[in-house]
Amino acid sequence: MGQGLSIQKCDFMIPENNKNHHTEEISTGRLIVRRGQPFTITVSFSAPIHNYLQQMKKTFLIVQTGPHSSRADEIQTEFPISSLGDQKQWSAAVEEQDPSFWTLCLNTPANAPIGQYTLLLRASKSPQFLGNFTLLFNPWCRDDVVFLPNEAQRQEYILNQDGIIYQGAENAVLAQPWDFSQFEEDMVDICFILLALGEHLQREKDPAQRKNPVHVCRAVVAMLNCNEFRILTECEPGQHSNGTPPSKWLGSSPILQQWIASKFQPVRYGRCWVFAAVLCSVLRCLGIPTRVVTGFTWAHNTKSSLSVDEYYDEDGTLLTQDKSARVWTFHVWNECWMARTDLLPEYSGWQALDATCQEKSKDLSFCGPAPVHAIKEGDTHVDYDVCYFFAAINAKCHVWVHKADDTLKPAFGGTKYTGNNISTKSVGSERCEDITQNYKYPEGSLQEKKVLEKAYRNMKELETTSSSSTQFISIPTVLEEPVNISIHLQSNSSLQLGQDITLSIEVFNHSGREKTTHLVVGIQALHYNGVPIAQLWKEEFHFNLQSDSVNNLQVSVPYAWFGKELGENHLLRLTAVLSDEDSSYMYLAQEEISICGSPLTIEFPENMVQYEPGTAKISLQNPLMEPLEQCVIAVAGQGLIYRQRNYR
């Protein structure tokens, strides 16, 4: 190129391109596009092009991810400007030209590595800078492995910034609103920073790997909770005096902003639902369709065993002899949508991804992405970590009573099944959608039996071929239960704060002869992860059961007896332990209930004007017979309030 030729201006046509690429909510001031989809720019020259025709016969565009294109951890691609662009690879075509400007259509491959790129034009030895742009995954592009064919699902799992995370108990699901804020200011930059840190800590140096959503998911999830630069610190339930309790977070942006502002110091504190919510925000921002999933009755840290045990004392108090493997009332993880080109085609679709630390034999303690189809079919040999998900939702929990003489007795009737009521927010509404059928066949069905047998065979093969210390235990058989006595415990599964608990206990004597029995009914406060807080109440009953009869008990427990120590998640476990004094058999029934806080009501004026101040009224009714003190109302709202505000 001769002297005097220079680029006067390059217009990235940001409003039009960002709108076409569904990124206008991320930014209106910078170009953010999705791979596999063309975008248009105009290049204005400082002098008429015909003065330099000889020098411009060979004109190239260069895209690179950093200032040092020779470095191994950066990408550089050079391609010619032609009259026809190849839509399958990096290319550029002249759409319109004038004596002093070109309108160019740029194509990016549907498998291009995502990242933050610099664009340059070269018609001589010195390339000239045109500008910077960001490239994301594209679920609207059929050739992208994250392609999601349903538009309503793309709106929900990529563009929706408002979500719901389900907590509570299996029969009393509570909805927790969450602000994913994946398009808030600086979010896309934060996401690429944590992606780069995750790659560095996993010693992943090949930048081309960013074309693969499996690689991106694993690099991001490793940053949530599993290394020195992790975004969040996990705390023991109830122990968060020097940080924010996990239940007090309302959205992802304050967490990520705090992590960046503190120069990558872990934010205090998070639990499984916070990890999943932040991970959902990051992956949606990067363009991977993602949702938050809650499973009720989850067997955690079973190390792929299909059996887990719970221990109670004779009063029905849950004990913690096994501090690692226990049944959680609920657990929250993620699903992300992608084609698994590294696996068989049937494993494409939703992939389970869990950022909560596991006790695993490998260095990395997160799980996934594991094909949900593989989990359902018991294909436990499939990457990544299908066996851990399978065990968590298919294990059977046997209950034992630790007697005063230090012996263990099986508690008949207490066997629990895990993986019940797996739920997520439905598309386009706030309804809770049950997706259990995606993960497992109906309990007791022939298909379930076949899957369990196949999974056990796969696990045994892995045990014999692996040097891992993980032990795989056989399919648990239900303890043979005597048919002499059965016990049934019933209560309202969900109560409002301040309400009394009404218990109904039915004891059936099927033995054909009179029985002398001892019954202990109790209430225990519980953390969501199965850790007991305190025994709040118990009552004992002695009675004789006539032959082939039923004894009905109705017990009312005032709120004042249990309301002071509900714990962060407001979960209670009700137990009834029956001793047959003739045979020394023990029977147990249990039920979990959740205590709902009083709902806040928000009222807006009938008419509000954009960019004008407005006043909202927030009200709360106190359901208790005592005043509420030291109250704090946390308020957040996209486009309404800058960051989260706390009002005392």
Catalytically annotated residues: 272, 331, 354
CB 35 within 8 A of CB 157: no
Kindly give, in sequence order, each residue whose CB lies less than 8 Å from that of residue 263, ignoring residues fewer than 6 positions away: none
As a whole number of angstroms, the distance between CA 35 and CA 321 comes to 52
Q: Which two tokens stand for residue 505?
A: 């206990």
**Pairing status of strand 515-526 against strand 571-580:** antiparallel
CB 273 within 8 A of CB 167: yes
Q: Encode burial over 301-314: b for 16+ CB neighbours within 10 A, e otherwise.
A: bbbbbbbbbbbbbe
As a whole number of angstroms, the distance between CA 505 and CA 363 comes to 48
How many of the other CB atoms lie within 10 Å of CB of 601?
10
Q: Which segments of 141-271 does DSSP mark as H helices, in order? A: 151-154, 187-201, 213-225, 253-261
As a whole number of angstroms, the distance between CA 451 and CA 444 comes to 11
Kindly give, in sequence order, each residue whose CB lies less than 8 Å from that of residue 591, ignoring residues fewer than 6 positions away: 489, 490, 491, 493, 573, 574
Task: Give CA 255 to chain center in angstroms.
Answer: 15
Burial category of 152 from C-beta neighbours within 10 Å (exposed 0-12, middle 13-18, buried 19 and up):
exposed
| Whole-number Cα distances in Å, 251 to 278, 330, 636 | 8, 20, 8
What count of residues does the chain have? 648
The alpha carbon torsion through 124, 126, 130, 131 (nearest 10 deg) reads 150
Q: Which two tokens stand for residue 79?
A: 């391609």
CB 300 within 8 A of CB 230: no
